[in-house]
Structure formats: C-alpha cells, structure tokens
Amino acid sequence: MKFWDIEELVSDFARFYILVILYEGPTHGYNILRKFKVRVGRPISPGLLYPFLQRLEERGLLTYTVQPVGRKERKLYSLTDKGVSFCNQLFRRFSSLVSTAIEPSLETCANCGCKIYEGGYTEVIDGVEKAFCCIHCAEAYKRMLRHI
C-alpha cells in the first residue's frame, strides 16, 4: 500500500465537504452532487455520496424526510442535533489546521494589522509596495505618515 493515495485523499475530502454542505441546511442528494461540483470544480460519484449518507444516518448524525416531486419522491437530508454537534467539533479541529496551512500566504494590512485572505488593496508608498485590507486603511496609513 502506498503512503500517499490521492484517490483516497480526495474521497476523504469529499466526505468532509459533504458534511459542510449538509451543515448549511437541509438538502437533497442531487443538490449535494451539484454544489460539490460547482464549488470544488470536480464531480463526486453518487457511489461515494449515498453510502456515506447512509452511514451518517446509521450513526444518528443524519435524518431525512421524503418529499413528493411530481410522481417521484425525493429525500431531503438534514443533520440531527448530534450531527450538528459532530460537525462543530470537526470544524473546530480542522480550523487550526487550515489556519496553519494558509497563514504563510496571508498578507497583513500595513495599517490595522488584520489578515488579508483574498483581495485587499496595494499601493506604493515611498517606493515600497504596501498591502492594505482596503483603500480606507491605505488613506489612514498615509495620514499617519504625514503626522510623524
């Protein structure tokens, strides 16, 4: 067995992300498949999704109601209170891991010190490019320099 199995890693990520989608609120299986593909940029197999949903249900983390859709029925999946608690624990555990992973790529606003995850505003001041969270912080920084 290989130490690094990319397919296993992707399927584990898929399960994690399925939980994220379920955490957002009740949804049906097709919608989970659609949201996953749109947000992650690659599809997941119903063969991965539905057995995972069944395992969550067996463990008391998920429940469903049946809704009529024309002549068919659709299952609307919802996390139970136990499932929400499980997700909260899981997300807390992974938030520090994700923070550690993305921290080196974050800029810090030269004025207020907040972390800039995406976007931001840059300006060259005294020949040095500075990063700011917004144009207002850049203006405040320049006002501060004028008063020094």
Q: 89-107 pLDDT, tens per residue? A: 888 888 877 777 777 778 8
Q: Residue 48 corresponds to which amino acid? A: L
On whether the CB atoms of residues 76 and 27 are closer than 8 A, the answer is: yes
The DSSP letter of residue 138 is H
1 occurs within a structural domain:
no
Residue showing tokens 């063969």: 47
Q: Which range marks the domain in which residue 122 is found?
A: 106-146
- The answer to whether residues 65 and 42 belong to one domain is yes
Please tell me the pTM assigned to this model.
Answer: 0.65
Contact between 28 and 76 (Cβ < 8 Å) = yes
Which pLDDT score is estimated for 8? 57
Q: How far apart are CA 19 and CA 38, in angstroms?
A: 16
> What pLDDT, in 10s, does the model give residues 25-47?
999 999 999 999 999 888 999 99
CA-nearest of 3, 35, 20, 11 to 94 is: 20
- Could you give the CA distance from residue 103 to residue 106 in angstroms, rounded to a whole number? 5
Q: Is residue 135 part of a domain?
A: yes
* Number of domains the chain is built from: 2
pLDDT at position 1: 42
- 120 and 140, same structural domain? yes
CATH number of the domain that residue 57 is part of: 1.10.10.10
What sign results for the dihedral spanned by CA atoms 9, 14, 17, 18? negative
pLDDT at 84 over 70: yes
119 φ, ψ to 5°? 80, -120
CB 36 within 8 A of CB 50: no
